[in-house]
Amino acid sequence: MSLSMRDPVIPGTSMAYHPFLPHRAPDFAMSAVLGHQPPFFPALTLPPNGATALSLPGALAKPIMDQLVGAAETGIPFSSLGPQAPLRPLKAMEPEEEVEDDPKVHLEAKELWDQFHKRGTEMVITKSGRRMFPPFKVRCSGLDKKAKYILLMDIIAADDCRYKFHNSRWMVAGKADPEMPKRMYIHPDSPATGEQWMSKVVTFHKLKLTNNISDKHGFNWPSDHAAWQGNYSFGTQTILNSMHKYQPRFHIVRANDILKLPYSTFRTYLFPETEFIAVTAYQNDKITQLKIDNNPFAKGFRDTGNGRREKRKQLTLQSIRVFDERHKKENGTSDESSSEHATFSCFAQASSPAVSTVGTSNLKDLCPSEAESDAEAESKEELVPETCDAAKISTTTSEEPSRDKGSPASLKPHLFGAEPSGRARDSARPDKASPDSRHSPATISSSGLAMSPFGSLFPYPYTYMAAAAAASSAAASSSVHRHPFLSLNSMRPRLRYSPYSIPVPVPDGGGLLSSALPAMAAGPLDAKAAALAASPASVAAVDSGSELNSRSSTLSSSSVSLSPKLCSEKEAATSELQSIQRLVSGLEAKPERSRSGSP
Partner DNA sequence: TCTCTCACTTC
Partner DNA sequence: TGAAGTGAGAG
User: Which one of residues 23, 137, 249, 291 is an interface residue with DNA (CB under 7 A)?
Assistant: 291
Shortest approach of DNA to residue 153 CB, angstroms?
16
432 binds DNA (CB under 7 A): no
36 binds DNA (CB under 7 A): no
Q: Which residues, including other chains, have CB under 8 Å from residue 543's CB and lie 6 or more apart?
A: 13, 14, 15, 446, 447, 450, 473, 497, 517, 519, 520
User: Which one of residues 44, 46, 112, 292 is an interface residue with DNA (CB under 7 A)?
Assistant: 292
Quote the distance between the C-alpha of residue 159 and its chain's center. Answer: 12
99 exposure class (CB count in 10 Å sphere: 0-12, 13-18, 19+): exposed
User: Which one of residues 31, 55, 211, 231 is an interface residue with DNA (CB under 7 A)?
Assistant: 211
- Per-residue H/E/C for 281-312: CCCCHHHHHHHHHHCHHHHHHCCCCCCHHHHH
**Closer residue to DNA, CB minimum distance, 244 or 267:** 244
Stretch that binds DNA, among 292-300, 328-336, 375-383, 505-513 (CB under 7 A): 292-300
In single-letter form, the type of residue at position 382 comes to E
274 binds DNA (CB under 7 A): no
How many of the chain's residues bind DNA (CB under 7 A)?
A: 37
Nearest to 578 by CA among 226, 230, 232, 84: 226
Name the β-bridge partners of 232.
182
Q: Is the peptide bond before 103 cis (omega within 30 degrees of 0)?
A: no
396 binds DNA (CB under 7 A): no
Stretch that binds DNA, among 45-53, 302-310, 342-350, 492-500 (CB under 7 A): 302-310
Contact indicator for 468, 267 with CB cutoff of 8 Å: yes
CA distance 212 to 198: 35
Q: Extract the runs of DSSP E, i.e. beta strands, from 92-220.
A: 104-107, 122-124, 130-131, 137-141, 148-166, 169-175, 182-186, 192-193, 201-203, 208-210, 218-219
321 binds DNA (CB under 7 A): no
**Closer residue to DNA, CB minimum distance, 298 or 584:** 298
Nearest to 81 by CA among 263, 258, 236, 264: 258
User: Which one of residues 243, 261, 390, 424 is an interface residue with DNA (CB under 7 A)?
Assistant: 243
282 binds DNA (CB under 7 A): yes
208 binds DNA (CB under 7 A): yes
131 binds DNA (CB under 7 A): yes
CA-based R_g, the chain, Å: 24
Stretch that binds DNA, among 121-129, 419-427, 443-451, 544-552 (CB under 7 A): 121-129
Tally Cβ neighbours within 10 Å of residue 85.
16
Contact string (CB under 7 A) for DNA, positions 547-566, x = contact = --------------------
The footprint of DNA on residues 144-183 (CB under 7 A) is: 164-165, 173
**Closer residue to DNA, CB minimum distance, 267 or 291:** 291
User: Which one of residues 35, 75, 178, 296 is an interface residue with DNA (CB under 7 A)?
Assistant: 296
363 binds DNA (CB under 7 A): no
**Closer residue to DNA, CB minimum distance, 261 or 279:** 279
Contact indicator for 202, 117 with CB cutoff of 8 Å: no
Shortest approach of DNA to residue 274 CB, angstroms?
15
Contact indicator for 270, 247 with CB cutoff of 8 Å: yes
Shortest approach of DNA to residue 315 CB, angstroms?
9
Shortest approach of DNA to residue 267 CB, angstroms?
28
CA dist 354 → 184, 436, 487 (Å): 33, 25, 19
Tally Cβ neighbours within 10 Å of residue 73.
12
- Per-residue H/E/C for 477-536: CCCCCCCHHHCCCCCCCCCCCCCCCCCCCCCCCCCHHHCCCHHHHHCHHHHHHHHHHCCH
Shortest approach of DNA to residue 378 CB, angstroms?
23
Shortest approach of DNA to residue 299 CB, angstroms?
4
User: Which one of residues 2, 67, 193, 295 is an interface residue with DNA (CB under 7 A)?
Assistant: 295
242 binds DNA (CB under 7 A): yes
User: Which one of residues 34, 201, 281, 322 is an interface residue with DNA (CB under 7 A)?
Assistant: 281
User: Which one of residues 126, 369, 427, 535 is an interface residue with DNA (CB under 7 A)?
Assistant: 126
The two beta strands, 148-166 and 244-254, are: antiparallel
**Closer residue to DNA, CB minimum distance, 297 or 434:** 297
Stretch that binds DNA, among 124-132, 463-471, 485-493, 502-510 (CB under 7 A): 124-132
CA distance 585 to 3: 29
283 binds DNA (CB under 7 A): yes
**Closer residue to DNA, CB minimum distance, 36 or 216:** 216
88 binds DNA (CB under 7 A): no
Residue 457 has φ and ψ, to the nearest 5°, of: -65, 150
308 binds DNA (CB under 7 A): yes
Shortest approach of DNA to residue 14 CB, angstroms?
34
- Reduced to 3 states, what is the DSSP secondary structure of residue 155? strand
User: Which one of residues 112, 298, 418, 560 is an interface residue with DNA (CB under 7 A)?
Assistant: 298
CA distance 278 to 175: 15
Shortest approach of DNA to residue 173 CB, angstroms?
6
Shortest approach of DNA to residue 296 CB, angstroms?
4
Residues that bind DNA (CB under 7 A): 124, 126-127, 130-131, 133, 164-165, 173, 206, 208, 211-212, 242-243, 279-283, 288, 291-292, 295-301, 305-309, 311-312
